[in-house]
Every structure is written in C-alpha cells, then in structure tokens.
Amino acid sequence: MYHITRIDQSTATELSDYASHSQGFTRQLLVGRSVGSPHTMLTANWIAPDGFIESVVHSFEFSLYVLEGSASVFMLGEKIVLNKNECLVIPVGVSYAVKASSQGVHWLQINAPGEIEKPRRKDTYFTYENKMNIESADSREFDLRDPRNQHAFRFDPASMNLNNLAVGAKKDAPAVSASMATALLAYSGIGVRMLIDQRVGAKLHAMFIVDYQPTAIAHPHDHPFEETYTFTHGETHGLIEGKEYVFHPGDVLWCGVGSDHGFENRGTGQVQWIETQAPQPPSQHSYRFSRDWEYLDQKLQGEQA
C-alpha cells in the first residue's frame, strides 16, 4: 500500500481544535488514517507572519523540519529559534508553543503514532499557560556544540559533500563534534544524514536526509515499518510496487509496511529528499531486497534441475 500527494498551501485549512488557540496557523494533511497509515501522520504547516500556536501538549511524539522562514519554539523553559533546514523533536507529554517570525514559517511535521479515531478520542490538550511562557523563557538559537542541546538538529547541505568530509574538522568548527553518531552514511552514490533519532530523544520515529548522486540506484525493497519521502531537489525516478513514477520537489510519497519501492537518479545533478520512518527500525532485518530473495529462488530451482 502506498500513497502519492503534493504539498500545496492552497489546500491547507485552519483546524477547529486550534481556532481559539492560534493565529495564522493552517495545515495540509499529507499522510494519515485516510490513506491507510496507522503509524504516521505527515503534514505541511504554515503560520503567517507573527502568528502563533498557544501552549499545547500531545499524546504523540512529533518532529518539525523548517522548510522556509523561521519560528521560535517555547518548551522546557527555553525559547529555541529554528531557521530553514533546522529541526526539532518534541517528546510525548512535553508542552510547547510556537511563534512565527515577521517572515512567517513553513514546516514539515511527522506525528508518531498516527491519527487516532476522532472525536471518540483526543490527543491534543491546550494547557492555558500564561502568554505561551514567552516572558519566562530563555531565548537562544540552539547551539549544536552545546551538550545541553537535547532535541534539535541542523541540516547543513555542505555536509553531504564527501570532499568536505575527507579532512578533519577544526576544533572550533561551529558544528556538532564528529562521531559515528552524526556521521554521513555513504554507499553506492547514496548519502544519508540522520537528523532525528534516539540521539535527540525520539523514540517512535526517525527523520533523515537522503541524497543520490547521478547514476545512484536503490533496488526495490520493503520494510517492517512505514516511510515517507518529501522530495526537495532534482528529479527522482521511483519504482513503487512495480509501477514507475517521476518525483519532483514538493511531491510526497508514503510507503506502508511491505510496500516495495526503489529509486534512481537518471539525471546529471543530485536529487534529495526528507525521509521519515515510523516506528523506528528494528535492530535487524530492516530491509528486504526483492533481488536477493529472487536470487535465492533461482538458486534453489537450479539445484533441483
């Protein structure tokens, strides 16, 4: 099972639950129960310039990735300023508030687990905290090198360039200290940069950037978890459950458990997307490649001939 859609602000709507607790906030549902997803709710979100969401708490975990503009997130006694290509995970049961900058903000958000059956059940609770805790919050732009940063991360496009990683980082480099935990995973022309996982407090989902060099290909495979792909750069050719598609920036793909998919960069430039997984992958057997099991089938049949 899979679903393909596209980010389109003209289809975003105000949410009735937020009507008296926000200003300028709209949301487009991309993936949810309506397309068969129990584990993932993926949305595109906008807050108009200087708009806000009042203090609220959820019974689900979520991450937001800023696509355009900037916003301040108030949580755990801090005011964290998020700019483009920066992301943040908000754990289950942690109250927060959001205020857009004078330029507004547009972000991608994944909730895990996915939507519950409404109105029979409820997962969003406004806390009525005084003025969103703005006055009492300690304002700061998060510092990747600061060990107190527990929930935020920044994507640096230059970090996907293997040439930049061929030399050591300077001691005072304004980046997280290099380690296996934050390393670029590169193989067969494919680069993966982890953003949100257990390292920053996520327990129910993961988020990362994937980059394909020209000619890079991932053969059809499936997983025991759900994935979403929000395409941001280039033209990506996909083979989804045996059917070919071409994805462009703004397109969104959801693949459910067991939905086989593969991707290829047939162009001369890089392609890139934001990928999510929910639940988080198991320690083993995260991938099932069709070609490997087809090889085994042919081998066994050959032995019987």
Q: pLDDT at position 110, please?
A: 98
141 vs 16, 49, 74, 78, 122, CA distance in Å?
31, 19, 12, 10, 33
Domains and CATH numbers, the chain: 2-152 (2.60.120.10), 156-165+178-304 (2.60.120.10)
Tokens 């909730």 belong to which residue?
A: 111
pLDDT digits (tens, 9 = 90+) for 17-66: 999 999 999 999 999 999 999 999 999 999 999 999 999 999 999 999 99
Give the pair of three-digit tokens for residue 248.
């462009």
Collapsing DSSP to helix, strand or coil, 141 comes out as strand
Whether pLDDT at 173 is above 80 = no
Collapsing DSSP to helix, strand or coil, 30 comes out as strand
Concatenate the DSSP letters of all residues of 32-66 into one string. Answer: SGGGT-SS-EEEEEEEEEEEEEEEEEESSEEEEEE
Q: pLDDT at position 165, please?
A: 57
Whether pLDDT at 135 is above 50 = no
How far is 253 from 236, CA to CA, in rounded Å?
Answer: 12
How far is 139 from 149, CA to CA, in rounded Å?
Answer: 13
294 vs 221, 297, 300, CA distance in Å?
12, 5, 10
* Residue 261 near residue 238, CB atoms below 8 Å: yes
Span 227-245, mean pLDDT? 97
Pairs from 163-171 (Cβ < 8 Å, separation ≥ 24): none
Span 172-194, mean pLDDT? 70
249 vs 5, 229, 273, 274, CA distance in Å?
12, 11, 8, 11
How far is 227 from 258, CA to CA, in rounded Å?
Answer: 11
Q: pLDDT at position 274, please?
A: 97
At residue 88, what is the residue type? L
Concatenate the DSSP letters of all residues of 174-237 into one string. Answer: SSPPPSGGGPPEEETTEEEEEEESGGGT-SS-EEEEEEE-TT-EEEEEE-SSEEEEEEEES-EE
Q: pLDDT at position 145, please?
A: 60
Q: Report the predicted TM-score, pTM, of the whole model to 2 decimal places.
A: 0.88
* Residue 7 near residue 250, CB atoms below 8 Å: yes
* Residue 220 near residue 239, CB atoms below 8 Å: yes
Task: Return the percent helix, strand and coil in the chain, to nearest 5.
Answer: 10, 50, 40
pLDDT digits (tens, 9 = 90+) for 192-218: 999 999 988 899 999 999 999 999 999
* Residue 277 near residue 31, CB atoms below 8 Å: no
A 10 A CB-CB count for 28 gives 19
As a whole number, the mean pLDDT across the chain is 87
Q: pLDDT at position 133, please?
A: 52
How far is 284 from 138, CA to CA, in rounded Å?
Answer: 41
Instruction: Find the helix or strand (DSSP H, E) in which 75 lies.
Output: strand 61-75
Q: pLDDT at position 77, please?
A: 78
Percent of the chain residues past pLDDT 90, beyond the cut: 69
